[in-house]
């Protein structure tokens, strides 16, 4: 490629989807900065985005496939690597059947075009019930509550922060994370703009985060009690006659049931549990109802806790009751450019079902076709029919990211076979027999298929590869398709992968032309396939083009009235993206419940509240609780090998309030032992009044000191693995999500503090 040029592309590292301006000398990055013309991010970039330069240059990033023999790793050709995968997986299929091969998908899959297109194909090919992902240590409760309320798990209401006048944030720190389940680049700028136009935002969090410091008000809350607080808001709205349903008027089932449930959750009754003064709760409820445009946004702290599904549900119950669902400045639904299950305004559907099957060992219910990752170790370790003997690990590091991390680490070592798609030999992939490295980021194309479902504006932005594949690289779609061919018994060759890719496209095109009322209904499928494949194109771009063209803003392959619509060609001609405007009201069309109404009180959630939440009003509050935290320079577990992101003051520290530190004899910088029901770790103490008394914090994603991993910089800044403390035996009941926040712990000084 030509020397000294600029490539524009969407940052693939987190949910914010910032536009990057990348200066290249040949294939080498000379500079990365925010793309000021990006239609969504307008020049915003965070330190992780600019660290892509270091990621591309990282000597530990794998360039060639690796095969392990004993403790020794060998670089091999792609053909040899796939042949080894075929041997390993087929042996397990033959000996133990389909369920003996588990699949785990890590968080980066949500940011990966090839992963979004081909993961499902691979999973279907494996034909296993043992599918796991990072969703059950993250956002699964929100999918569950959205699915039960609105009929589709992707119908997550999004706080319209660019137009709201009042935003209540629970369990989120967007100054560090830039929004999650809410794609909104430059959250700091957007929140400051909210205040500049006279609006307010309030943060409810056990820690005074950077976001809380910038807020109009910080309300400390005991970890795991958001559902109590939200039910108290409901109680006030009802009790003071502040309920008005707005756009949801006439569309709500279950109002009386919610009123009945909230009856005992008065602000005074919940104050001893939450630590939130009753008068503060009343004032917030009045502000939510009394402000013209207001929204409640709950995120990781509300999901990854004892009552994750209940808290996620109640966020939207409050949005409905305060008249803020589906209005500008409230909580709105997206209609992404690539279409999807809720793009059309049908207004009814089959609804959402949970627990269509259960896990073999613990009988835990599935959600969205997945089992809780907290039970992966059980499924590997427990003998019997259906025992897991092999793992396909796709861009994930569950040893760092999932509960009972020490146990999972041990049991992975006993697998018959494991293949990993990963760019590092990390704490998890060191157990693999074969590691298949994806190409460097700049050699991949990008489109945020998943995250634009959650974007606060409707945007579409495609990034073509900025550099050519290296001599040892193959496209990621080919890796995925060759794996899919292997598990389908079609061999491991390049040609077998190509056949899978063609099959995927022809299946999707057939579906599109067969869809009643669709924009290409009745068109010739072969003709559309040929058009999508022109100039030798294949891989995820063909699928993306199909989805764009048949989506709600698409050109319909030239259908009358759609000629000016979107296609991949349009996005290629617009390297800074296409802005399709702010979100629009979508009720009732967006609903997919069988009733065609919002189910405000789904029986599953009401039953869970009655069984587990109501009794906690009488539960004594005692002991220390552990929470996690997010850092601007961290991205879960996988960016700690970049010196530019880990240098400086150690960040894997145990935050402790001064009163707790004094009581426990802890001093700043001294080591402490943290013990939970699941395990123990040692970490240096950081005494800070940003913590609520009775709550300590340890960030997740650290603990990079495992033998056999090959991440030199990360090992030098190892930190400790907080998930050694996460107890996989207790989960959020409905979603199976792990409880990463509010873990009961004991903390003990390892060195007596000096007076």
Q: Where are the beta strands (DSSP E) in 89-139?
A: 101-105, 131-133
Looking at 7-15, 113-121, 190-198, 589-597, which segment touches ligand SF4 (CB under 6 A)?
7-15
- The neighbour count for residue 693, using CB atoms within 10 Å, is 15
455 binds ligand SF4 (CB under 6 A): no
Q: Which residue has the tokens 């949005």?
A: 319
CB of 16 to ligand SF4, least distance (A): 4
Helix (H) or strand (E) holding 441, with range, is none
> How far apart, in Å, are the Cα atoms of 465 and each of 13, 57, 324, 447, 541?
16, 17, 41, 11, 11
Reported as type and span, the H/E element at residue 355 is: none
**Cα separation of 361 and 356, whole Å?**
16
Q: Please state the three-class secondary structure of 23-62 as a single string.
A: EEECCEEEEEEECCCCCCCCCCCCHHHHCHHHHHHCCCCC
* Structure tokens, 441: 């980021």
Using the rule CB under 6 A, give the single segment among 13-21, 230-238, 368-376, 499-507 that binds ligand SF4: 13-21
Please, what is the minimum distance in Å from the beta carbon of residue 45 to ligand SF4? 5
| Nearest residue to 454 (alpha-carbon basis) of 20, 161, 49 | 161
Report the run of H or E that residue 545 belongs to, with start and end.
Answer: helix 540-550
Q: Which stretch binds ligand SF4 (CB under 6 A): 10-18, 53-61, 354-362, 693-701?
A: 10-18
Q: Contact region for ligand SF4 (CB under 6 A) — 12-20, 77-85, 656-664, 677-685?
A: 12-20
Which is nearer to ligand SF4, 49 or 554 (by Cβ)?
Answer: 49
Strands 680-687 and 671-675 come out as: antiparallel
* Complex with ligand SF4: residue 9 or 407, whichever CB lies closer: 9
**Interacting residues with ligand SF4 between 39 and 58 (CB under 6 A):** 45-46, 48-49
What single-letter DSSP state applies at residue 250? Answer: T
For ligand SF4, which is the closer residue by CB, 318 or 645?
645
Among 7, 8, 9, 14, binds ligand SF4 (CB under 6 A): 14
CA distance 283 to 275: 15
Whole-angstrom distance, CA of residue 143 vs CA of residue 155: 8
Q: Select from 7, 8, 13, 455 the one that contacts ligand SF4 (CB under 6 A).
A: 13
| Residue 326 to residue 630: CA distance in whole angstroms | 30
Decide: 197 and 282 in contact? Cβ < 8 Å. Answer: no
The size of the interface with ligand SF4 (CB under 6 A), counted in residues, is 12
185 binds ligand SF4 (CB under 6 A): yes
Q: Which residue, 45 or 443, has its beta carbon nearer to ligand SF4?
A: 45
Angle at which helix 226-239 crosses helix 255-262, to 10 degrees, equals 110
**Of 7, 8, 9, 11, which lies in the binding site for ligand SF4, with binding defined by CB under 6 A?**
11
Using the minimum distance from each CB to ligand SF4, give the nearer residue, 17 or 173.
17
Q: Does 202 bind ligand SF4 (CB under 6 A)?
A: no
CA–CA dist 460, 441 (Å, integer): 19
CA dist 608 and 604 (Å) reads: 6
Q: Which helix (H) or strand (E) holds 19?
A: strand 19-25
- Least distance to ligand SF4 from the beta carbon of 9, Å? 11
Provide the β-strand partners of residue 599. 253
| Distance in Å, CB of 461 to ligand SF4, minimum | 12
Smallest distance from ligand SF4 to CB 187, Å: 8
Q: Which is nearer to ligand SF4, 45 or 169 (CB)?
A: 45
Beta carbon nearer to ligand SF4, 19 or 323: 19
Spatial strand order in the sheet of 101-105: 72-75, 66-69, 434-436, 417-421, 390-394, 101-105, 131-133
Q: Can you tell me the distance from the alpha carbon of 222 to that of 657, in angstroms, rounded to the nearest whole number?
A: 14
Query: Binding to ligand SF4 by residue 178, rule CB under 6 A?
Result: yes
State the minimum distance, in angstroms, from the CB of residue 84 to ligand SF4.
34
Find the binder of ligand SF4 among 7, 18, 315, 485 (CB under 6 A): 18
Supply angle C-alpha 477, 133, 610, rounded to 5.
150
Which residue has its beta carbon closest to ligand SF4? 49
- Determine if 451 is a binding residue for ligand SF4 (CB under 6 A): no
Which ranges of 656-706 does DSSP label H, i.e. alpha helix? 658-664
Assess whether the previous peptide bond of 400 is cis (omega < 30° from 0): no
Would you say 172 or 294 has its CB closer to ligand SF4?
A: 172
Of the listed pieces 15-23, 198-206, 499-507, 710-718, which binds ligand SF4 according to CB under 6 A?
Answer: 15-23
Nearer of residues 639 and 656 to ligand SF4, judged by Cβ: 639
224/296 Cα distance (integer angstroms)? 17
Closer residue to ligand SF4 (CB): 18 or 169: 18
* Distances in whole angstroms, Cα of residue 467 to Cα of each of 414, 462, 472: 40, 15, 14
- Residues 55 to 84 in contact with ligand SF4, rule: CB under 6 A: none
Structure token pair of residue 738: 């792990």
Which range of residues in 6-14, 329-337, 354-362, 428-436 is near ligand SF4 by CB under 6 A? 6-14
Q: Which of 7, 8, 9, 16 binds ligand SF4 (CB under 6 A)?
A: 16
Looking at 8-16, 196-204, 456-464, 471-479, which segment touches ligand SF4 (CB under 6 A)?
8-16
Stretch binding ligand SF4 (CB under 6 A), from 11-19, 144-152, 658-666, 724-732: 11-19
Nearest-approach distance from CB 358 to ligand SF4, in angstroms = 36
CB of 642 to ligand SF4, least distance (A): 12
Task: Spell out, one character per residue from 298 to 337, where the chain touches ligand SF4: x when CB under 6 A holds, - when not.
Answer: ----------------------------------------
Closest contact distance (angstroms) between CB of 704 and ligand SF4 is 20
Q: Which positions touch ligand SF4 (CB under 6 A)?
A: 11, 13-14, 16-18, 45-46, 48-49, 178, 185
């Amino acid at each position: 490629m030509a020397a000294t040029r600029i490539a524009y592309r969407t940052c693939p590292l987190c949910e914010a989807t910032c536009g990057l301006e990348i200066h290249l000398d040949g294939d080498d990055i000379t500079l990365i900065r925010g793309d000021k013309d990006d239609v969504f991010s307008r020049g915003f970039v965070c330190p992780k985005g600019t660290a892509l330069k270091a990621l591309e240059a990282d000597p530990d990033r794998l360039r060639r496939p690796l095969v392990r023999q004993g403790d020794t790793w060998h670089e091999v050709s792609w053909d040899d690597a796939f042949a080894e995968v075929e041997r390993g997986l087929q042996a397990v299929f033959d000996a133990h059947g389909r369920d003996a091969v588990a699949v785990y998908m890590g968080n980066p899959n949500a940011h990966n075009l090839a992963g979004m297109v081909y993961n499902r194909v691979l999973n279907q090919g494996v034909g296993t019930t043992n599918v796991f992902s990072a969703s059950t240590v993250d956002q699964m409760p929100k999918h569950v509550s959205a699915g039960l309320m609105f009929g589709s798990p992707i119908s997550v209401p999004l706080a319209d922060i660019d137009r709201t006048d009042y935003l209540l944030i629970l369990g989120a720190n967007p100054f560090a994370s830039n929004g999650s389940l809410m794609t909104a680049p430059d959250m700091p700028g957007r929140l400051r703009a909210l205040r500049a136009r006279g609006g307010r935002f309030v943060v409810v969090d056990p820690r005074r985060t950077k976001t809380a410091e910038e807020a109009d008000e910080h309300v400390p809350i005991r970890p795991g009690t958001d559902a109590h607080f939200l039910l108290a808001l409901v109680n006030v709205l009802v009790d003071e006659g502040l309920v008005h349903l707005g756009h949801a008027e006439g569309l709500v089932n279950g109002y009386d049931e919610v009123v009945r449930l909230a009856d005992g959750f008065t602000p005074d009754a919940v104050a001893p549990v939450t630590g939130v003064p009753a008068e503060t709760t009343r004032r917030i409820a009045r502000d939510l109802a009394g402000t013209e445009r207001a929204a409640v946004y709950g995120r990781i702290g509300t999901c990854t806790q004892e009552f994750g599904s209940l808290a996620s549900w109640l966020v939207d119950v409050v949005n409905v009751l305060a008249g803020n669902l589906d209005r500008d400045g409230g909580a709105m639904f997206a209609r992404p450019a690539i279409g999807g299950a809720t793009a059309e305004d049908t207004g009814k559907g089959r609804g959402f079902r949970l627990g269509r099957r259960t896990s073999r060992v613990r009988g835990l219910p599935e959600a969205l076709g997945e089992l809780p990752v907290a039970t992966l170790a059980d499924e590997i370790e427990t003998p019997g029919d259906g025992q897991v003997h092999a793992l396909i690990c796709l861009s994930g590091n569950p040893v760092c990211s999932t509960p009972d991390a020490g146990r999972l680490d041990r049991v992975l070592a006993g697998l018959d076979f494991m293949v990993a798609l990963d760019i590092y030999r990390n704490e998890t992939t060191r157990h693999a027999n074969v590691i298949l490295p994806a190409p460097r980021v700049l050699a991949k194309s990008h489109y945020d298929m998943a995250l634009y479902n959650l974007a606060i504006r409707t945007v579409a932005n495609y990034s073509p590869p900025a550099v050519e594949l290296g001599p040892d690289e193959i496209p990621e779609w080919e890796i995925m398709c060759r794996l899919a061919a292997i598990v389908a018994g079609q061999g491991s060759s390049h040609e077998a992968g190509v056949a899978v890719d063609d099959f995927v496209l022809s299946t999707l095109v057939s579906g599109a032309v067969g869809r009643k009322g669709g924009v290409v209904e009745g068109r010739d499928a072969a003709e559309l396939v040929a058009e999508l494949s022109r100039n030798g194109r294949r891989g995820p771009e063909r699928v993306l083009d199909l989805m764009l063209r048949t989506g709600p803003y698409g050109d319909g392959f030239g259908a009358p009235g759609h000629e000016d619509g979107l296609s991949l060609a349009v996005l290629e001609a617009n390297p800074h993206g296409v802005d399709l405007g702010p979100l629009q009201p979508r009720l009732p069309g967006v609903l997919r419940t069988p009733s065609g109404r919002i189910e405000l009180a789904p029986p599953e959630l009401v039953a869970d509240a009655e069984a587990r939440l109501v009794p906690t009003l009488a539960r004594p509050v005692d002991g220390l609780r552990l929470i996690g935290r997010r850092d601007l320079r961290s991205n879960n577990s996988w960016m700690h090998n970049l010196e530019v992101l880990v240098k400086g003051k150690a960040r894997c520290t145990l935050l402790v309030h001064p009163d707790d530190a004094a009581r426990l004899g802890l001093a700043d910088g001294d080591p402490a032992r943290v013990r939970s029901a699941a395990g123990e770790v040692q970490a240096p103490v950081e005494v800070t009044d940003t913590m609520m008394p009775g709550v300590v914090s340890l960030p997740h994603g650290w603990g990079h000191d495992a033998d056999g991993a090959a991440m030199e910089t990360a090992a030098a800044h190892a930190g400790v693995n907080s998930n050694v403390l996460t107890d996989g035996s207790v989960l959020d009941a409905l979603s199976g999500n792990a409880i990463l926040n509010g873990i009961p712990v004991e903390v003990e000084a390892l060195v007596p503090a000096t007076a």
